[in-house]
Amino acid sequence: MTETSDTIAPRSRKVRVLATLGPASDSPEMIATLFQAGADAFRINMSHGDQASKAQIIRSIRALEEKFKRPSTILADLQGPKLRVGKFAGGRVMLEHGSTFTLDHDPTPGDATRVRLPHREIFAAIEPGARLLLDDGKLVLRVTDHDENRIVTTVEIGGPLSDNKGLNVPDVVVPMAALTEKDRSDLTFALEQGVDWIALSFVQRPEDLAEARKLIEGKAALLAKIEKPAAIERLEELVDACDGVMVARGDLGVELPPQSVPPLQKRIVETARRMGRPVVVATQMLESMIKSPSPTRAEVSDVATAIYDGADAIMLSAESAAGDWPVESVAMMNAIGDAVERDPMHGDRIHFTVTRPDPTTADALAESAKNIAATVSAAAIICFTSSGSTARRIARERPSVPILVLTPKRETARRLGLLWGTHNVVTRDVESFEEMVAKAKRIALRQGIAQAGDRVIVMAGVPFRTPGSTNVLHVVRIIGDELKDYPRA
């Protein structure tokens, strides 16, 4: 996967498209088709299927690197703790508004007055007045009394309730570990398979992320899914403790009123951008395309809003994993991204979020690179990086030009696949300033990032091969015979 002329053109848009793979899209042929349609990265939902099938999917994604000469990016999304009620004697009951309904430890099949709740942590944490939401929020119970063996509730919104339906507890922090035994097994598997990102579900506290990070041991980047009200209360702590953030609007929209989700989405995106973490907006973005070949106008507007807010990536869930139109869904995301970023107002809108640089040389140079690129009409910002931190600093500034990332580490190139505006190339490290400039110009030409006569901005750290030493910003013009003068590296 070293630099070569046998490459596909870089994406014209800067926002990334993250596509979930599933029964509708997990064949090698379909994965390649989704990549060509616009998917920049792929999500594997560990909630469904076995590990053997996931291993085959991962092999198919990595095969794209040989086929298209581009790094591939894989996010493994752990299921997290799923709260569910037990079973009913008839498989299903009807809860009436105003009736009393009790949750307890009794394994006997339930009825319209009670059912087992096999999660003792909830009994210890619950308080009178707290809500319990059943079946994705379709039913609402209000706690009136409780002890260590039972939770007595009043049914505020009734309806049918069947075996093993999900339970949400939005009003209290439940002291449950974010990693279940299944998650630990899936995490070990994902790391053995070399995935690039691990997404942790139902994060409530920084301690949840600390446990996962300890187990990951630097082998992958850690993404926190923000889908609990408790996470919002400690948002900055969580963002600081992870490598990236997902606005997981599914459960967030269950546990909070629907009208609360849009402002929270903007707050999460703004916080992540300000703190320099990639942020993904997910769930129901093109929901109607599960069954329809075209989205609603409201869905298109929803995706566009996330792009105008400056999200690093927009994600497809069931639309690409299990829907009837996976390729069309990815192509639509790609088209929306292109159209929004061609809007003359796009640049102004994504800078509504103020990202003040930290008092470091690297941050000062990243901000300067953005401003210089605009002033001299540069074609690209080119950065040499080993860890990816220089690329993240530049992307945080949302420059008006592409970011060409040159790295000697395949793992770094893959992880940066969720980062806004980057085109990542694996290449040998450089030994001198002259080699750095020559290689930057040559690869920019080969990758189609710049043309003869263009100016480009080059950033790196001297001495070379020293992580965290970004201290050079150089503006250079590409001449017409760069490819002829220098051998391929």
Catalytic residues: 43, 84, 225, 283
Yes or no: say if 417 and 15 are a contact pair by the CB < 8 Å rule. no
For residue 40, the one-letter residue type is D
Yes or no: say if 199 and 209 are a contact pair by the CB < 8 Å rule. no
Q: Token pair 């919002």 is at which residue?
A: 232
CA–CA dist 265, 267 (Å, integer):
5
Question: Tokens in use for 38?
Answer: 């616009």
CA–CA dist 458, 452 (Å, integer):
16
A 10 A CB-CB count for 108 gives 12
Q: What is the largest CA-CA distance in the chain?
A: 82
Yes or no: say if 180 and 128 are a contact pair by the CB < 8 Å rule. no
**Is the C-alpha dihedral spanning 286, 290, 295, 297 positive or negative?**
negative
Question: Tokens in use for 144?
Answer: 């009136």
Yes or no: say if 462 and 471 are a contact pair by the CB < 8 Å rule. yes
Q: Token pair 């001495």 is at which residue?
A: 463
Sheet holding 131-134, edge to edge: 114-116, 100-104, 150-157, 139-146, 131-134, 167-168
User: Could you tell me which residues are beta bridge partners of residue 139?
Assistant: 134
For residue 297, the one-letter residue type is R
